[in-house]
Amino acid sequence: MKIIKSISHMRKQVLMWKKKGLSVAIVPTMGFFHKGHLSLMRAAGSRADRVVVSLFVNPAQFGPNEDLNRYPRDFERDAKMAEATGVNCLFCPDAKDIYPPGFQTWIRVEELSQGLCGTSRPEHFCGVATIVAKLFIIVQPNMAIFGQKDFQQLQVIRRMVKDLNMPVRIIAHHIVREPDGLALSSRNTYLNVKERESAPALFQALKIAEKMVVRGNLSVPEIIRAVKRHIQSFNNTKIDYVFLGHPESLRPCQKIVGESLLALAVWVGKTRLIDNTLLKPQVNHANRKDKSKDL
């Protein structure tokens, strides 16, 4: 596996691959790899001839009081894990090369960046969109793989790619979980023993909502109430938001009529966790009212 720090070296490497007709996938990361990252890397390897994993803790996506300085880092361990997973190149640029003095060009995906995580993290998605755009310009991948845990991020990036005509296929990868349902995240390492016990509350709440929908309860207020009640029954939890709405527009809905996104952000102690699921009403439940009219 090649470890590349310089932007020009990265460009040359990709050019060589492209000249040979090889396809390239990128997995953008901030490092401190866990099984979720490895799963993204394997998915990339199964689709493309060459896999680039970028490792860059992007200062632009952290707010002033967020965890940039304490974000977990272990380069040696990450490099070993990526190599063992078959990654061809680990791209780990310096912040001074990505954001040189005088840098002033930002990408803002207007509507999709607001609401959900954008409410408590107003500049976050501007930082994400800008770094992902830069990575796409430097690496020129045919495809990019993103985890579905950061659902809003995925939609922001999809919109950016569409709006800016970027020739990159965006592939969403399913959420990888611990045996008790906790979605894998580098930030899970912040949790102490007691907080870790409360952390599966998010997954359990999503399951409660899924069951309600399968049983035909399509009332948004009732589902949100049940989700909140479950999370609040755990120690050390504080809800940031519970969102139920359209998965593409990310606008909230009053009633579930088709596939809907249920997304959560919850503080567990000092750690903010996110998770989500797509609620799929059964066709007979979704149409029940209309059908009864026909009879």
Q: Are 89 and 13 in contact (CB under 8 A)?
A: yes
> Angle CA(6)–CA(8)–CA(10) in degrees, nearest 5?
70
Question: Does residue 275 touch ligand PAF according to CB under 6 A?
Answer: no
Please say if 37 is a catalytic residue.
yes
Question: Does residue 191 touch ligand PAF according to CB under 6 A?
Answer: no
Question: Does residue 154 touch ligand PAF according to CB under 6 A?
Answer: no
CA-based nearest residue to 54, from 1, 10, 108, 90: 90
Least distance in Å: CB of 283 to ligand PAF? 34
Identify which range of 25-33, 42-50, 106-114, 161-169 contacts ligand PAF by CB under 6 A.
25-33
Query: Is 128 or 227 the residue whose CB approaches ligand PAF more closely?
Result: 128
The secondary structure of 148-210, three-state, reads CCCHHHHHHHHHHHHHCCCCCEEEEECCCECCCCCECCHHHHHCCHHHHHHCCHHHHHHHHHH
Which one from 37, 124, 173, 230 is the annotated catalytic residue? 37
Identify which range of 26-34, 65-73, 231-239, 273-281 contacts ligand PAF by CB under 6 A.
26-34
Report how far apart, in Å, the C-alpha atoms of 52 and of each of 3, 138, 143, 159, 271 are: 10, 11, 11, 22, 30
Q: Are 83 and 1 in contact (CB under 8 A)?
A: yes
Least distance in Å: CB of 256 to ligand PAF? 28
Report how far apart, in Å, the C-alpha atoms of 75 and of each of 27, 30, 111, 121 are: 16, 11, 35, 27
Question: Does residue 130 touch ligand PAF according to CB under 6 A?
Answer: no
Q: Phi and psi for 255 in degrees, rounded to 5?
A: -145, 145
Give the SS3 label for residue 284.
Answer: helix
Least distance in Å: CB of 150 to ligand PAF? 5
Question: Does residue 156 touch ligand PAF according to CB under 6 A?
Answer: no
Residue 2's DSSP bridge partners are 89
Question: Does residue 28 touch ligand PAF according to CB under 6 A?
Answer: yes
Contact string 43-82 vs ligand PAF (x = CB under 6 A): ---------------x--x---------------------
DSSP 293: H
Question: Does residue 93 touch ligand PAF according to CB under 6 A?
Answer: no
Query: Is 67 or 197 the residue whose CB approaches ligand PAF more closely?
Result: 67
Question: Does residue 138 touch ligand PAF according to CB under 6 A?
Answer: no
Question: Does residue 132 touch ligand PAF according to CB under 6 A?
Answer: yes
Who contacts 68 (Cβ-Cβ below 8 Å, separation ≥6)?
57, 59, 62
Question: Does residue 131 touch ligand PAF according to CB under 6 A?
Answer: yes
- Report the catalytic residues: 37
Q: Name the site residues for ligand PAF (rule: CB under 6 A).
A: 28-30, 58, 61, 128, 131-132, 150, 153
